[in-house]
Amino acid sequence: MHSQPTLRTSSFKQVDVFTSEPMRGNPLAVIFDAEGLTTEEMQHIASWTNLSETTFVLPPTDAAADYRIRIFTPRTELPFAGHPSVGTAHALLEAERVAAKPALVQECAAGLLPVRVAGSGAERRIFVSTPRARFGKLPDTARDAFARAFGASLAAQPLPVRVGPNWMICDLGSADAVHALKPDMQAMISLRASFDAVYFCVFGRAAAGAGHAIAVRAFCPADGIPEDPVTGSANAAVGAYLHASGELAKIGVEYRASQGREMGRDGYVDVRVDANSGAVEIGGQSITCLDGTLALPHA
């Protein structure tokens, strides 16, 4: 008889991010014991979980960091992403794998990022300072091409904003336009060849009394994610866009974004933008939906 290889396992949580209610936010897989996993194995696991992102927790390489993570979509590794950063900090605090304190430092491929912890238990809200935005430029033809793919007009020229992923930020004007959007996913995929566009975010302003300032949707069909439920980095990119365009004053330096209604979710992202520097912090609540042990691929 052939002996079976020893099974490798890891403590595991699946966390719903940007919500206080199970299955209403954006799910994240957190692999705690990632030492010894190769990049190829991490990518294989992230493909298997089939969530928009999976994080792998590792010992920090910088003494200033409390922990280190690597972030994978089903197809690629990201230097930074918002909901994985917020959700992993939640999971580590809940599992008592990091000290419960108001300020943490996350190490990731984008560098060392401050993490702020407000409150405790079910009321805990976690905020991450996102990488400083870098702005690109698209040719004038992009506005019409994007509008055709979205099936909706744009209120302004789309702007690439890189905060880890390079988001194509598109202002649709109103929240109603965002909710009504029915984009052509195949047409969006084809925009990669013409404009190197993979990650798309649309937003619009909500009516007075809505309880949030803007509605947001995010699409990444070329990366295997047709629509993402609630997206931290996209909301950070919108905050940077509003600051750069001079539109932030109409909304305020602290505002709440709603995302996920079209997917049956109820996510909220709290955004804070420094009016002088344009630095962005995003955050919100999280809740653990699955907690246990994950069997890892054989070495």
Q: What is the pLDDT of residue 78?
A: 95
Q: Which residues constitute the domain of residue 34?
A: 9-130+286-295
Nearest to 81 by CA among 49, 103, 58, 109: 109
Q: What is the pLDDT of residue 5?
A: 65
Model confidence pLDDT, tens digit, residues 190-247: 999 999 999 999 999 999 999 999 999 999 999 999 999 999 999 999 999 999 999 9
Same domain, yes or no, for 168 and 225? yes
**Which positions are annotated as active-site residues?**
53
Q: What is the pLDDT of residue 7?
A: 82
| Residue 1, in any domain of the structure | no
Kindly state the tokens that stand for 134: 């870098």
Same domain, yes or no, for 30 and 52? yes
Same domain, yes or no, for 167 and 236? yes
Same domain, yes or no, for 291 and 235? no
| Residue 4, in any domain of the structure | no
**CATH number of the structural domain spanning residue 182:** 3.10.310.10
Q: What is the pLDDT of residue 2?
A: 55
Torsional sign, CA 25, 20, 165, 28: negative
What's the pLDDT band for 1 if we cut at 50, 70, 90?
Answer: low
Same domain, yes or no, for 183 and 78? no
Report the mean per-residue pLDDT for the chain: 96
Same domain, yes or no, for 126 and 148? no
Nearest to 32 by CA among 284, 290, 229: 290
Sequence-ordered list of residues with C-beta below 8 angstroms from that of 258, at least 6 positions apart, any chain: 175, 206, 210, 211, 212, 214, 215, 216, 267, 268
Same domain, yes or no, for 155 and 274? yes
Separation CA 92–CA 105 (nearest Å): 12
| Residue 3, in any domain of the structure | no
Average the pLDDT over 38-60 and give the result: 97
> Has residue 40 got a pLDDT over 80?
yes
- The count of domains in the chain is 2
- pTM of the predicted model, to two decimals? 0.94
User: Burial of 200 by CB count in 10 Å (0-12 exposed, 13-18 middle, 19+ buried)?
Assistant: buried
